[in-house]
Amino acid sequence: MKALGLVAARAPTGFTTSFHEPKQKPLRNNPFCVSCSSSSKTVQEQAKTAVLKSEYKPGVFDDFFLNLFRNKLVQEVGWDSQRPGYDGLIEVVNRLMMKGKTNSDTIEAAVRVLRALFPPFLLELYKIFIAPLGRGKIAAMMVDILKCFGFEARVTALTCQWLMGPCKVNSVELPDGTLCSSGVFVERCKYLEESKCVGICINTCKFPTQTFFKDHMGVPLLMEPNFADYSCQFKFGVLAPPHEDDSVLKEPCLEICPNAAKRRTVARNIDVTTCPKT
């Protein structure tokens, strides 16, 4: 008790009373303090988000890659946006989603766009001569070869940072239990963040990219988007499940999805738990 008295004597005047009240709850249980902590945390999260958005600085080739990708999309869709840059690209992607009568139509169209980015003979040669080496491990580890030339991702991710934002190479576990440097971790996907749509992520990126690598380059690929923090894990050398069995189809619409917001406003009796495009 004497020790407590000394602490109280040295405490600031505003807190002295609380030490002498036996029924006073500990400071950490004070609801006012919890509220302040929550508010502070929100501010910190917003600041962190702002930093994440500004981390990647476009390189000298980014405009070239963006225009190349956009031109292939425009050829597939038959329409172009009047808006320049990335905003215009997202509008063309939205039109691609609307054009397909089914999700399968959209996925197939997106695969055609990816194929159009490469000379046909290059894909065939890669599938014939590179993919079979080391039971696919050499193809999956192409990232290590590309890093020698200053790139930070494998064949599919040569230009991924302009599209998806900052990413890094990491190790993933292959089906045989071995670890391989065949992963690419996207810290916060710009494509998902700007489109604000689970359906666009799944049907114009995840499923088409997995299909493209497996069927046209001979490399298994599993992509695992995280819709909570917008990150995404690429696992080259890991076979993805059939589309209909992928748990990603159970993901709900994002709260910020403009299409989901319209559906909630126009038809309140419609269940918007699951994205209509998944």
Q: What's the rounded Cα separation, in Å, for the pair 273 and 278?
A: 11
Q: What's the rounded Cα separation, in Å, for the pair 254 and 199?
A: 10
Q: Specify the long-range contacts of residues 103-110, CB closer than 8 Å, at least 24 apart.
A: 103/199, 103/203, 103/277, 103/278, 106/203, 106/204, 106/277, 107/203, 107/204, 107/207, 107/208, 107/211, 107/243, 109/76, 109/77, 110/203, 110/204, 110/205, 110/207, 110/208
Under the banding of pLDDT at 50, 70 and 90, the label for residue 263 is: low
Least confident residue range of 144-148, 167-171, 197-201: 144-148
Q: Which position has the higher pLDDT, 180 or 134?
A: 180
Across residues 39-56, what is the average pLDDT? Answer: 45
Average pLDDT, rounded, for the chain = 75
Residue 239, pLDDT above cutoff 70: yes
Across residues 114-123, what is the average pLDDT? Answer: 87
Please give the model's pTM, rounded to 2 decimal places.
Answer: 0.72
HSE value, Cβ hemisphere, 13 Å, CA-based, for 164: 25
Give the model's pLDDT for residue 206. 98
Task: Give the model confidence (pLDDT) of 206-236 as tens digits.
Answer: 999 999 999 998 889 999 999 999 999 999 8
Give the model's pLDDT for residue 133. 62
Amino acid at 69: F
Q: What's the rounded Cα separation, in Å, for the pair 28 and 172?
A: 41
Across residues 62-67, what is the average pLDDT? Answer: 88
Residue 53, pLDDT above cutoff 80: no
Under the banding of pLDDT at 50, 70 and 90, the label for residue 3 is: very low
Q: What's the rounded Cα separation, in Å, for the pair 96 and 76?
A: 8
Across residues 182-188, what is the average pLDDT? Answer: 90
Give the model's pLDDT for residue 261. 66
Residue 174, pLDDT above cutoff 80: yes
Across residues 82-103, what is the average pLDDT? Answer: 94
Give the model's pLDDT for residue 168. 84
Task: Give the model confidence (pLDDT) of 130-166 as tens digits.
Answer: 666 655 555 555 544 444 333 334 544 555 788 998 8
Across residues 159-176, what is the average pLDDT? Answer: 85
Task: Give the model confidence (pLDDT) of 11-32 as tens digits.
Answer: 444 444 444 444 444 444 433 3
Enter the tokens of residue 97: 């989603």
Residue 126, pLDDT above cutoff 60: yes
Least confident residue range of 36-50, 73-87, 257-271: 36-50
